[in-house]
Amino acid sequence: MSSRRQLQITKVKINAVTIISVTGSVDALTAPMLAEYLAREIQNPNPNLVIDFAELDYTSSAGLRVLLSAVKAARARGGDVRLAAMQTNVAKIFEMSGFNAILKVYPDRARAVASFAA
């Protein structure tokens, strides 16, 4: 039996910023759930999203693909997707894939949220 945590996605809204917390693992099985969740949030005008990855244990390239599509869609609607609190291995995949140049990444959610006010 796997000890891995199942994917869980929750959100909280602070003023004009929606913080989405992702817990568990994103792979080819669970990435569509994250994609669907983000797509719903991005339907709103000026979608300012912070994705808090503090509890994200693992992602494969399936998760990166979801984020790439999400940030494109959010920026097209006048918003942005910004990331916070990535664990070491997740940060490593990001760096290897050159995603640090595409998405804004912050050490914690407070700074990611504050970045939208700047």
Partner 1 sequence: MRPISIERRAFEGGVEQLTAIRDFVTRVVRQLGAHDDDLFACELATDEAASNAYEHAYTDRGGPIEVKIWREPDAIVIAVRNWGAPFDPASVQEPDLDAPLHQRQVGGLGIFLIRKLMQDVSFAFDPIQGNTLTMRRVLTRA
Q: Which is nearer to partner 1, 77 or 92 (CB)?
A: 92
Tokens of 84: 């916070």
* Helix H or strand E encompassing 5: none
Question: Residue 59 phi/psi, 5° resolution?
Answer: -145, 145
Binding residue (CB under 8 A) for partner 1 from 13, 98, 117, 118: 98
CB of 57 to partner 1, least distance (A): 11
- Coil, strand or helix at 103: coil
**101: contact with partner 1 by CB under 8 A:** yes
CB of 16 to partner 1, least distance (A): 22
Tokens of 78: 């006048």
What part of residues 43-82 is at the interface with partner 1 (CB under 8 A)?
58, 60-62, 64-65, 68-69, 71-72, 75
Q: What's the rounded Cα separation, in Å, for the pair 92 and 94?
A: 5
CB 46 within 8 A of CB 77: yes
Contact set with partner 1 (CB under 8 A): 2, 4, 25, 27-29, 58, 60-62, 64-65, 68-69, 71-72, 75, 89, 92-93, 96-98, 101-102
